[in-house]
Structure 1
Amino acid sequence: MSTLKLRLLNTRADGFAADFERLLDRAHAIDPKIETTVRDIVADVRARGDAAVVEYTRRFDRREVSSVAELEVSRSRLREVSRAVTKEQYEALANAAERIRAYHERQRTDSWTYTEPDGTLLGQQVTALERVGLYVPGGKAAYPSSVLMNAIPAKVAEVPELVMVVPAPEGTLSEMVLAAAYLGGVDRVFTIGGAQAVAALAYGTQTVPKVDKIVGPGNVYVATAKRLVYGVVDIDMIAGPSEIVVLCDGRTDPEWIAMDLFSQAEHDEDAQSILISLDEAFTLKVLAAIEKLLPGMERREIIRAALESRGALITAGSLDEALVLVNRIAPEHLELSVENAGETAKRVRHAGAIFLGRYTAEAVGDYCAGPNHVLPTSGTARFSSPLGVYDFQKRSSLIQCSADGASVLGKTASVLARGEGLTAHARSAEYRIKK
């Protein structure tokens, strides 16, 4: 008898709707103590700049430093480190970088214009953000893949300056993270982290330049700081716990499915892994595979906690029922482990990334397939998209009236402006109407 307390749900069972809604309860109250702490740190960095950053680095990262300049890693140092990692590591990073760049090159958007018969020109001018900040977790949590996924789209968008911040508690810093920064084209790197790093990027200090947008994952303090500085700068998103939904018709090896569920559950105890199966017997086979494989996993306690708190194995009565659930969940990652996965994908309205077929593990998307792994979580795939080149570009409208066009448009504008009681608007347009 297993001691794993994993939800087993069936769409045809009484009470399923209520059980399913409880499974999707994503309410995460913001700890007021954390928000107060972060608000104070942000205000302090805004007021004192470098001095505050140094003080918090000493306190939180336990480093004896006297200036922010000491915390900057030169581009030449990045190059040296990129040569110090193992050949296997460098080749993996380089291969991933090449694939990510090739994919994102296809997302580039160019400026465009068109001219109307009377000579009026209309269009859109696309320009890159001037400077972007990239937050990267440091210490034990080293994610070189996140560096590539955030840096490369920015550089494809032709952002002139990309500034990376990464904490180095007690001086610990991942060589692979620095190598990824070099391969990703990062221009400046500062070994600072936490809310103080976000504030430094948002407001600028004597040494850290002010950026226009902050991207990249972090802990609750980082996420809270990003939320607080939004409006001063843009941010990518407030990311929630990682999620995966696997939709399977019962014809895939159950151990593959179990490991796919583990791949997200091992992130942290709040991650969510859900199987939607079209075959109840197969659902039980996956449960057996989970019980068999879990004891051998290095992060088994985290996986167990995630599966028991937010995981589920759901048996659906049909593909139609399963897809209703998928679209209700709007998952960050969706594996379609079914026949004719491409056709099934056309019926998916809400998902951050869709992995088609039995051989496509979500893990390849995390590292090297090419599409971005920065994805909407917590149901936000209903209205948002993966990070991409477009997130590092902005668009300006272009309007150039000919004399004839100004006269024609002026008459329409005049009527609408006077209807709104904005006389100056109306007269401004009327001056250009031909008599």
Structure 2
Amino acid sequence: MLTVSKLNTTDKDFNQQLDALLSWESVSNHEVLHTVQHVISDIRQRGDDALIDYTNKFDRVSVSSMSELTIEAQGLADAAARIPAAQLEALKQAAERIERYHNKQVSESWQYTEADGTLLGQKITPMDRVGLYVPGGTAPLASSVLMNALPAKVAGVPEVVMVTPAPDGKVSDFTLAAAHVAGINRVFLVGGAQAIAALAYGTQTVAACDKIVGPGNIFVATAKREVFGKVGIDMIAGPSEIMVVSDGTTPASWLAEDMFSQAEHDTDAQSILVTTSAEHLAEVEAAMVEQVQTHPRKEIILTSLKDRGALILAQSEEEMIELINRIAPEHLELSVAEPQKMAQQVRHAGAIFMGKYTAESLGDYCAGPNHVLPTSGTARFSSPLGVYDFQKRSSLIMVSEEGGDTLGKIAAELARGEQLEAHARSAECRVKK
């Protein structure tokens, strides 16, 4: 039976109800943290041996060397040849669209020369090596492979490696085919906190990376937080979210499926719909009750909607916009007559899907923009994954003789104001006597 919270902005306790609905702590309890810290320490000390031991234990396999857990480029090409031709073509089409979009994000180095000959600028350099974590759950997340790997490749990263667990020795050819299409260099069939530790610190077989990206369970998320500082990470992601804002012009049956598209991810996923029409709200709920019965992941959807879903009745468009910016959703569907006009008032959202024909799931797979988005309200201060996440910026400074005289006097004065005499004297060495 489908149960979903129904909220009204006129309720006296609406704010408390919404806060409770949105509350989420993605990481972690003390027991998980203790386990992860032990795993990281073990990987750092024993390298491949520890990685093999954990893989045998948690993935229920029996391997004796990392060569059994490594798939090189030819193996990825073989997997691509095994999947249905239509799936391979869809992967290639999606990859082409994602690559084309991300090419627009590439930053270029720049510099300028001041009147006295001093040169200032910025040098853009790609990272050397990036590690991608891909979960090994019930759904083969080939789309995540494309979305994480292709921006790194566009950025110019020469080596992108992937880790993914293979429970009982089984790994999805669809996922491996996506790795082939995305140009990933090699795949290691390892997962969990031990895979994150290997990517961060390196082992005899797994080279240490500069950045780790990709989603994972609470152990993976905790490990990413623990190794941050040694390596860069994309984000600590919470469950997937959608907020649908509807004026009633989109069929209720479509919106029901949009809500389900997030709810089916896992039981912690969140689906929220907001409208100013009580009649439309009832129509959407009725469509959800009817349509959920046909879904293979029905039980996951029902639990997700019961625990974290909501249908919200607002009193005005202004109130709906206030809710958008308060919730700062990962995915925002503006299923209204003038979506571009409404989008201008949105300050906080990971991705904005405008108009009745723009299903969020199109963005998940093939529209082009990245589907790795800030969750749990973090769209207030963070952005989608992009090429810029795999490029570093170095400042360029080359001071001329005349500039050394001018800047040296300014710097010396400021340094003495900070009581840093060595700084002042260093600057004054360049001042003309």
Give the match for residue 26 of structure 1.
24
Q: Deviations over 1:259-317 (max 9, x none)?
A: 10010011111111000112111011111111111112111111111111111101111
5 Å matches for 1:36-435? 36-138=34-136, 140-435=138-433
Partners in 2 of 1:381 and 1:104 — Cα distance?
20
Give the letter aligned to residue 321 of structure 1: E
Scaled by the length of structure 1, what TM-score is found? 0.98
For 2:121, what is the secondary structure of its paired residue? Answer: strand
Structure 1 stretches lacking a partner, 5+ long: none
Confirm or deny: 8 A CA contact 1:260 1:361 kept in the other structure.
Answer: yes
For 1:90, what is the secondary structure of its paired residue? Answer: helix
Report the identity percentage. Answer: 59
Q: Deviations over 1:74-128 (max 9, x none)?
A: 1111112211211111001000000000000000001000111111111100000
Partners in 1 of 2:121 and 2:278 — Cα distance?
55
Confirm or deny: 8 A CA contact 1:58 1:65 kept in the other structure.
Answer: yes
Partners in 1 of 2:138 and 2:262 — Cα distance?
18
Confirm or deny: 8 A CA contact 1:195 1:221 kept in the other structure.
Answer: yes
Partners in 1 of 2:273 and 2:431 — Cα distance?
65
Structure 2 stretches lacking a partner, 5+ long: none
For 1:176, what is the secondary structure of its paired residue? Answer: helix
Confirm or deny: 8 A CA contact 2:27 2:222 kept in the other structure.
Answer: no
Confirm or deny: 8 A CA contact 1:139 1:174 kept in the other structure.
Answer: no
Runs ≥4 residues deviating over 4 A: none
> How much has 1:27 moved relative to structure 2?
3.7
Partners in 2 of 1:348 and 1:330 — Cα distance?
9
Confirm or deny: 8 A CA contact 1:107 1:389 kept in the other structure.
Answer: yes
Give the letter aligned to residue 71 of structure 1: L
> How much has 1:361 moved relative to structure 2?
0.2
Q: Deviations over 1:382-407 (max 9, x none)?
A: 00000000000010001110111111
Q: 1:199 to 1:369 in 2, by over 3 A?
A: same
Question: CA RMSD, aligned part only?
Answer: 1.0
| 1:7 paired to 2:31 | no
For 1:179, what is the secondary structure of its paired residue? Answer: helix
Partners in 2 of 1:235 and 1:14 — Cα distance?
41
Partners in 2 of 1:146 and 1:153 — Cα distance?
12
Partners in 1 of 2:306 and 2:68 — Cα distance?
45
> How much has 1:145 moved relative to structure 2?
0.5
> How much has 1:139 moved relative to structure 2?
5.2
> How much has 1:322 moved relative to structure 2?
0.3
For 1:354, what is the secondary structure of its paired residue? Answer: strand
> How much has 1:329 moved relative to structure 2?
0.2
Partners in 2 of 1:29 and 1:85 — Cα distance?
36
How many residue pairs get matched? 433
> How much has 1:341 moved relative to structure 2?
0.5
Partners in 1 of 2:223 and 2:13 — Cα distance?
40
> How much has 1:137 moved relative to structure 2?
1.2
Q: Deviations over 1:35-86 (max 9, x none)?
A: 1111111110010000001111111111111111221101111112211211
Confirm or deny: 8 A CA contact 1:4 1:304 kept in the other structure.
Answer: yes
